[in-house]
Amino acid sequence: MAVLRQVSCVTKRNYYFDPHEIIKSFGGEYLGFPWELPDYMVLHYIKTGMEKYYVQYGGRKIKIVVASHNGKEYLKAETDDYSPDTLLALPDCDVLKVVR
């Protein structure tokens, strides 16, 4: 059975202008402990079915899915169109580390 993790923050690369490549890592809490994983690991875990990820938005759980743009895979919320706007709107994980 796949682990289900809520994503509550992202870390962005500060040198990319393409919204499909700007997210560097995803983070949140799982079983009361903070976690952060690079984008390529989250993508791998979703594709292999090892883990599932979601964001909480408007009182709903929205699944994070693998999408493709110009032959490159990236992650987005299943309700997003072209750009991963829901994920890009999440707070920065680095800011949350300071708060803890």
Among the listed residues 1, 18, 2, the one whose alpha carbon sits nearest the alpha carbon of residue 88: 18
Q: How many CA atoms lie within 13 A of 78 on its CB side?
A: 12
Give the pLDDT confidence of 73-89 residue by residue, as tens digits. 999 999 999 889 999 99
The count of structural domains within the chain is 1
What does pTM read for this prediction?
Answer: 0.87
- 64 by Cβ neighbours in 10 Å (0-12 / 13-18 / 19+) ranks as buried
Question: What whole-number distance in Å separates Cα of residue 32 and Cα of residue 89?
Answer: 23
Q: What's the confidence (pLDDT) of residue 96?
A: 55
DSSP H/E element including 3: strand 3-6
Confidence of residue 17 (pLDDT cuts 50, 70, 90): confident
Domain ranges, residue 38: 3-99
Confidence of residue 28 (pLDDT cuts 50, 70, 90): very high
